[in-house]
A = this chain, B = another copy of it.
């Protein structure tokens, strides 16, 4: 009881994005999360040791626990930040868009564009969905659903399929999108636009049944 008040790590699980903490704290927290995404993408969540995350983040082992309550919370923070960003960016891009083809193109560009800039984070989100449990899992699940609904409603604008088929097409599209990080090498980023075009073409024809490519 000699100590005034035990430090409670800022609870990255809360949505208070930095109001209570200085920018220096937020910067370090972001650095650690970036390192964590790196290590988890490489070794998997269970295989990623907190010690290595700490080393790459330039902190001591116990320093990690000043910023996060647990290893689980780090994974949760990565997934929450990523899905929140994906949703916000997509909502902004889709605002006011009515043309279905444009909507599909924006969906693909948004998702693959984010993958090009944050390959580790996206890999973690798509690869470690089941590594969380309890409250963390549920909250990420609801974000995933929100993102799914956004994409689904974009595909629904084509009006060419019944509801169930639209749902299936959405899931097929997510498969194609997420599988990209299994084979695409970002070092040769010359043909990234081509990948986007071919994927849009494929689903455009697949959904509408016509060859009405514009550009």
Chain A facing B: main interface SS? helix
Identify 15 residue pairs between A and B in the complex whose beta-carbon atoms are under 8 Å apart, listed by A's number: A44-B47, A164-B194, A169-B202, A171-B183, A172-B176, A172-B179, A172-B199, A172-B202, A174-B179, A175-B176, A175-B179, A201-B206, A202-B203, A203-B206, A206-B206
A residues adjacent to B (C-beta < 8 A): 43-47, 127, 129, 131, 164-165, 168-169, 171-180, 182-183, 194-195, 198-199, 201-207, 209-211
Q: Which residues of B lie under 8 Å from residue A202 when comparing CB positions? A: 169, 172, 203, 206-207
Tell me how far the C-beta of A123 lies from the nearest C-beta in chain B, rounded to whole angstroms: 10
Tell me how far the C-beta of A175 lies from the nearest C-beta in chain B, rounded to whole angstroms: 3
- Among A43, A127, A129, A202, max chain B CB count under 10 A is at A202
In angstroms, Cα B177 to Cα A171, docked, is: 10
Knowing A43-B46, A44-B44, A45-B44, say if A175 contacts B168 (CB, 8 Å): no
Q: Which residues of B lie under 8 Å from residue A175 when comparing CB positions? A: 175-180, 182
Q: Who on chain B is nearest to A201 by CB?
A: B206
Q: Who on chain B is nearest to A211 by CB?
A: B209
- Among A47, A176, A177, A201, max chain B CB count under 10 A is at A176
Q: Which residues of B lie under 8 Å from residue A201 when comparing CB positions? A: 206
In angstroms, Cα B51 to Cα A74, docked, is: 28
Tell me how far the C-beta of A212 lies from the nearest C-beta in chain B, rounded to whole angstroms: 10
Knowing A172-B199, A202-B206, say if A179 contacts B182 (CB, 8 Å): no
Q: Which residues of B lie under 8 Å from residue A169 when comparing CB positions? A: 198, 202
Q: Which residues of B lie under 8 Å from residue A204 when comparing CB positions? A: 206
